[in-house]
């Protein structure tokens, strides 16, 4: 039987100027969360560095590292010492010329429980990820850990209901989204508000449609465009956790780093799915066109 509840921590950070400083900041937050009784820590997308995808620069590939590697070794030692599960997010060097945006899951005994390679890769102004990342090839498979079966996805994946559904159908008990998303500072306030509302709404809808809690951990603060071409990005924070009916359980703001800690009642999935039996009523005989790019 799954555990009835789980206390989780989301580490919303601003870039500290170096990989070493960012990892030190992660460790400080992880240790604080452990003292406060957390069993699961979710770090933001690409937490070791600034969000380097604002521009295309071949020198940036030097930031990538193998898995296992230095960061997984450090997170593994923390997970083992503190007896908790850590979900991190790395720029993976898989082979020369082959790189991924990869989430790593370190179990409470320090072992590498699993990895997830980001499946949906954006290519938009300020988010030139296709230059750096090969699309994931591991599918949508939850990772079994000491605290439960985790459906780990990454940022752009959060806009796709298919990804959340696939994780739910494979038995995920919790959907987790390490994230790096922000505003173009030149966008008017009304457009910025619409973007933030859409971001929260789509993820809450995944919780509702699948009867699962959702946690999204975003970075926060302004990061300049290294090329100087654009106005940079102001990451909007607002890391949050919602329950299986989309109800907000905890939320940060867009102003500052935040260690967001919340207790999640995992047993509510069973209760909610009994009264909203979406999985029961799916018409799997009628969904074959979902395999098409578009139905002409």
Does the active-site annotation cover 155? Answer: yes
Does the active-site annotation cover 263? Answer: no
Q: How far apart are CA 13 and CA 237, in angstroms?
A: 8
Q: How many C-beta neighbours within 10 Å does residue 144 have?
A: 15
Strand partners, 10: 42, 260
Q: Parallel, antiparallel, or unpaired for β 40-43 and 85-95?
A: parallel
Question: In whole angstroms, how far apart are CA 268 and each of 110, 140, 144, 205, 276?
Answer: 29, 23, 19, 16, 12
Q: How far apart are CA 201 and CA 146, in angstroms?
A: 30
Does the active-site annotation cover 118? Answer: yes
The pair of three-digit structure tokens given for residue 8, joined into one six-digit string: 């989780």
Q: Do residues 236 and 181 touch, judged by C-beta distance below 8 A?
A: yes
Upper half-sphere CA count for residue 158 (Cβ side, 13 Å): 24
Q: How far apart are CA 246 and CA 255, in angstroms?
A: 24
The pair of three-digit structure tokens given for residue 252, joined into one six-digit string: 């940060």
Say which of 155, 217, 223, 242 is annotated catalytic. 155
Say which of 45, 92, 129, 223 is annotated catalytic. 45
Say which of 118, 223, 242, 258 is annotated catalytic. 118
Q: Do residues 236 and 221 touch, judged by C-beta distance below 8 A?
A: no
* Catalytic residue positions, numbered: 45, 118, 155
């Amino acid at each position: 039987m799954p555990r009835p509840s789980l206390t989780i921590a989301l580490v919303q950070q601003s870039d500290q100027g170096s990989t070493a400083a960012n990892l030190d900041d992660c460790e400080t937050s992880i240790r604080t969360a452990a003292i406060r009784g957390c069993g699961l820590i979710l770090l933001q997308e690409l937490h070791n560095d600034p969000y380097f995808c604002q521009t295309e620069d071949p020198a940036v590939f030097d930031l990538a590292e193998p898995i296992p590697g230095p960061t997984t070794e450090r997170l593994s030692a923390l997970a083992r010492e503190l007896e908790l599960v850590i979900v991190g997010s790395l720029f993976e060097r898989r082979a020369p010329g082959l790189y991924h945006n990869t989430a790593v899951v370190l179990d409470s005994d320090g072992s590498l429980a699993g990895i997830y390679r980001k499946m949906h890769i954006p290519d938009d102004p300020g988010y030139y990820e296709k230059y750096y990342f090969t699309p994931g090839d591991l599918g949508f498979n939850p990772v079994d850990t000491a605290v439960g079966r985790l459906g780990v996805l990454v940022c752009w994946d959060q806009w796709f209901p298919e990804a959340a559904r696939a994780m739910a159908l494979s038995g995920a008990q919790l959907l987790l989204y390490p994230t790096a998303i922000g505003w173009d500072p030149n966008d008017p306030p009304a457009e910025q508000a619409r973007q933030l509302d859409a971001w929260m709404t789509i993820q809450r809808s995944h919780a509702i449609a699948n009867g699962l809690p959702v946690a999204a951990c975003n970075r926060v603060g302004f990061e300049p465009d290294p090329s100087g071409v654009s106005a940079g990005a102001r990451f909007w924070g607002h890391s949050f956790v919602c329950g299986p009916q989309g109800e907000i359980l905890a939320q940060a703001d867009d102003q500052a780093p935040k260690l967001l800690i919340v207790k999640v009642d995992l047993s509510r999935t069973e209760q909610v799915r009994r009264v909203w039996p979406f999985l029961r009523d799916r018409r799997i005989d009628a969904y074959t066109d979902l395999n098409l790019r578009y139905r002409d």
